[in-house]
C-alpha cells in the first residue's frame, strides 16, 4: 500500500468517524468538495497546508493521517458502528442485535 492510498483510506475513516460529509469537511478546510473526494480516492494528495487544516478540523496529530495500522480508538469504533447501524433495515438490525447478544 502506498502513502497516497494510506492517507486516502485514513482520511475517509476519520472524516466518517466524526460524522462529517465530504462537503462539510471541504467547507471547514476551505477547499472544493471535489478536492476532498479526489484525496479520499487517492487521485490527489493534499498539500502540507491542507494537511494542517484537515488535522486542525479533525482534532488529530498529522501522524494519525499517515498511520493506518493503528487500532482505532473506542470512540471511533462506536461512531463507525452507529453510522453503519443507522442505514440498516429492520430485519438486518434485528439480526445484528441477536448476534451482538451472543458475543
Please report the pLDDT score of residue 69 as a whole number.
65
Mean pLDDT of 46-55: 96
Mean pLDDT of 52-79: 83
What is the share, in percent, of the chain residues with pLDDT greater than 90? 50
Most confident of 8-17, 32-41, 59-68, 90-99: 32-41
Cell of 70: 493503528
Contact of 66 with 7, CB cutoff 8 Å: yes
Amino acid at each position: 500500500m502506498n502513502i497516497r492510498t494510506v492517507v486516502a483510506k485514513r482520511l475517509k475513516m476519520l472524516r466518517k468517524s466524526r460524522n462529517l460529509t465530504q462537503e462539510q469537511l471541504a467547507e471547514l478546510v476551505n477547499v472544493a468538495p471535489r478536492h476532498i473526494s479526489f484525496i479520499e480516492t487517492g487521485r490527489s494528495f493534499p498539500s502540507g497546508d491542507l494537511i494542517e487544516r484537515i488535522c486542525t478540523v479533525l482534532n488529530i496529530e498529522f501522524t494519525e493521517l499517515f498511520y493506518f495500522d493503528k487500532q482505532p480508538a473506542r470512540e471511533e469504533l462506536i461512531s463507525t458502528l452507529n453510522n453503519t447501524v443507522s442505514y440498516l433495515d429492520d430485519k438486518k438490525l434485528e439480526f445484528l442485535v441477536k448476534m451482538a447478544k451472543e458475543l
